[in-house]
Each structure stands twice: as structure tokens, then as C-alpha cells.
């Protein structure tokens, strides 16, 4: 008991009687005399009837247990994802593999969007940190302003040729990307270029595609499910007999 009181009553003031700590008969303790030097415990100790400042209001009716508070209903012991009905979202994003590139999220957006924004100074971060100075409204361009948009004829330099890239319309099942006629080819190492060229040639060769189609047709002709083969098979089987 003395050790317990020493833990909670170790102050410059004279130790209050044990009843003040709530571990005795239910008698309100008398207020101690104020110390001459103005120690840390200048305020009278809180009684059981009055709640100490800063304590929860629910603690006022909790008897001698001043620091007792109501436990919150929602704690970390509950599954918060099910509590906030995020199971579908969790299964959608964490159950399946989410593709890494931005072009998978925005497939119809033209241009090379998978490149970092810092390369061509098109980052959203720079737009937030240094917003461009604009007027309050968008005014239509008048005839005299159009004089500034008179362009010279001829093609653009290769550095600026990015916006006319067509967005990919077909979903490629092949792992290797099919080269587009208008895409700028990124620089490749000499060791990989031959291998990739061979693979690209294999995939893009129209003659190879025709051969594949012909093979498929031949397979279908010789399959038992093919309607044309039923009569021929019957004739062949009858001839064997």
C-alpha cells in the first residue's frame, strides 16, 4: 500500500491521505492547505463529485476512477475494410494484378504518356507548384489573333513529332509490342536489336499470317466436326471395309 501511494503521491506537497486516492471509505477528503512556495500542486485535488479539467465527461460518474474513459466503439480490432464496405474495392485492386503503366489506365490518350513528366516539363507537380498566370475567362480567338497562327508549310522536326501517334485500338496479346508505322522507335542496344528485329519480322510478316490461316483452314477441313468432312469420311470408311 505504501509503495502504491508513493507512485501516485510523490510530490513536494505533503502526501494526501489515502482516502483522497479513492482506495478507502467513500469520504470526500478535506482540501490540503496551500503550500507557501507555490508547489506544483497548487490547485486542490479533484474530488469525486467534480470532474478534473481535461478529463472525459463520462469519467464524472465513474466514482473514484478519474482517468476512466469510455472505450470507443470502433477500434483497430475490427476489420475496417469490411466496416467501411471496401471489400469490393480491395478485391478489385489487390486481388487482381494492376498494370504498372499509365497507358493501361488511359489507353485512349494519345502521346507517350508512360514517360516521366519531368522529361518534357509536363508534370502535374510543376503545375501545382508554379501555376501558370492566366486570365479569369476563356475568350474566343478573334480574326486578328488568328494572324499569329499562320504556319509555314512542311513537316515538323522529329523532336516535336509526338502528338500524332495514334492511340492503340487493338489489345495485343503478344508480349512484344508491335511496331507502329508512325511511332518513334526508342534507341536500342546493338545486341538486342537483331533479336528483336527477328521476332518482329516473324510476327509482322504478312506471308506468315497467310500461311497460318491456310494451316488453320486445312486443320478445320480434316477435323471430324467439319460439315464438309462428314461425307468424305463416310465414303473413305466404306471403302476401307
Q: 148 or 190: whose CB is closer to other proteins?
A: 148
**Residue linked to cell 474495392:** 89
**Residue linked to cell 509482322:** 204
The dihedral over CA atoms of 126, 131, 133, 139, expressed in degrees to the nearest 10, equals 100
Q: 116 or 224: whose CB is closer to other proteins?
A: 116
Give the dihedral sign, CA 48/52/55/60.
positive
Q: Counting contacts by CB under 8 A, is residue 146 touching other proteins? A: yes
Least Cβ distance, residue 141 to other proteins (angstroms): 4
**Binding residue (CB under 8 A) for other proteins from 154, 190, 206, 227:** 154
Q: Counting contacts by CB under 8 A, is residue 170 touching other proteins? A: no
* Nearest Cα residue to 45 out of 76, 77, 11, 68: 11
* Nearest Cα residue to 168 out of 188, 183, 185, 186: 183
**Binding residue (CB under 8 A) for other proteins from 6, 11, 30, 70:** 70
Is the distance from CB of 49 to CB of 22 less than 8 angstroms?
no
**Binding residue (CB under 8 A) for other proteins from 11, 115, 205, 218:** 115
Q: Counting contacts by CB under 8 A, is residue 8 touching other proteins? A: no
Q: Is 160 helix (H, G, I), strand (E, B) or coil?
A: helix
Which residues in this chain contact other proteins in the complex, by CB under 8 A?
22-23, 58, 62-65, 68, 70-71, 75-77, 79-81, 86, 89-90, 93-94, 98-102, 104-105, 108-110, 113-118, 123-125, 128, 138-143, 145-146, 149-156, 160-161, 163-164
Amino acid at each position: 500500500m505504501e509503495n502504491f501511494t508513493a507512485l501516485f503521491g510523490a510530490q513536494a506537497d505533503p502526501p494526501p491521505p489515502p482516502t483522497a486516492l479513492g482506495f478507502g471509505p467513500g469520504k470526500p477528503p478535506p482540501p490540503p492547505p496551500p503550500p507557501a512556495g507555490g508547489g506544483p500542486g497548487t490547485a486542490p485535488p479533484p474530488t469525486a463529485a467534480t470532474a478534473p479539467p481535461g478529463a472525459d465527461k463520462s469519467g464524472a460518474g465513474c466514482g473514484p476512477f478519474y482517468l476512466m474513459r469510455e472505450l470507443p466503439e470502433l477500434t483497430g480490432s475490427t476489420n475496417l475494410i469490411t466496416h467501411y464496405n471496401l471489400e469490393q474495392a480491395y478485391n478489385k485492386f489487390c486481388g487482381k494484378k494492376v498494370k504498372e503503366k499509365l497507358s493501361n489506365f488511359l489507353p485512349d490518350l494519345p502521346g507517350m504518356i508512360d514517360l516521366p513528366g519531368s522529361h518534357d516539363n509536363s508534370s502535374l507537380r510543376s503545375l501545382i507548384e508554379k501555376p501558370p498566370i492566366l486570365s479569369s475567362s476563356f475568350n474566343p480567338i478573334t480574326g486578328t489573333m488568328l494572324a499569329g497562327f499562320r504556319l509555314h508549310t512542311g513537316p515538323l522536326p522529329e523532336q516535336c513529332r509526338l502528338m500524332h501517334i495514334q492511340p492503340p485500338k487493338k489489345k495485343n496479346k503478344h508480349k512484344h509490342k508491335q511496331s507502329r508505322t508512325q511511332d518513334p522507335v526508342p534507341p536500342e542496344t546493338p545486341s538486342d536489336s537483331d533479336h528483336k528485329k527477328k521476332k518482329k519480322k516473324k510476327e509482322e510478316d504478312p506471308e506468315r499470317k497467310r500461311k497460318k490461316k491456310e494451316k488453320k483452314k486445312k486443320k478445320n477441313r480434316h477435323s471430324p466436326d467439319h460439315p464438309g468432312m462428314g461425307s468424305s469420311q463416310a465414303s473413305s470408311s466404306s471403302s476401307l471395309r
